[in-house]
Amino acid sequence: MAVSDIPADFVPGPLCDRASALAAILEAVPFADFSDSSWIRVNSPKVELEINLGSGDPVFGFAFHIRGGTEAIGLVAAILSKLGLRALDPGAEGGIFDPATASESLRRWQAYREKVLFTGSPN
């Protein structure tokens, strides 16, 4: 499936209740920092990940911000699987997160980020 396969008249509903989202994250990443349950942080030697969950209930959307570590891809996949959800990945060829190809998408993003940070230009 690709983003282009989503019908133009698609109207999304709630993804899940807040308690289910928090439980799925806790089960997949028990060492995460839940001190702010709307902005969950995972910092380890191999992963730097933030999950912007917001504070609403039900949950209509949330975002994963992978700052470092391809191991984060497995955590994202585990959370999505526990919730029975799929996700958008703007770096993926079809725009849909696929754990099998997400490492390459992350590498492209990291290369772009480094270029912008160190040259000041995306080109």
- The answer to whether residue 10 is domain-embedded is yes
pLDDT tens readout for residues 83-93 = 999 998 888 88
| The pLDDT value given to residue 95 | 84
59-100 per-position pLDDT tens digit: 999 999 988 778 888 999 999 999 999 998 888 888 888 888
Q: CA-to-CA distance for 22 and 37, rounded, in angstroms? A: 8
Backbone dihedral angles phi then psi of residue 58, each to the nearest 5 degrees:
-75, 170
User: How many structural domains does the chain have?
Assistant: 1
Which pLDDT score is estimated for 17?
95
- 54, part of any domain: yes
pLDDT tens per residue, range 32-50: 999 999 999 999 888 899 9
What pLDDT is stored for residue 120 in this prediction? 67
**Where in the sequence is the domain holding 51, given as residue range(s)?**
3-87
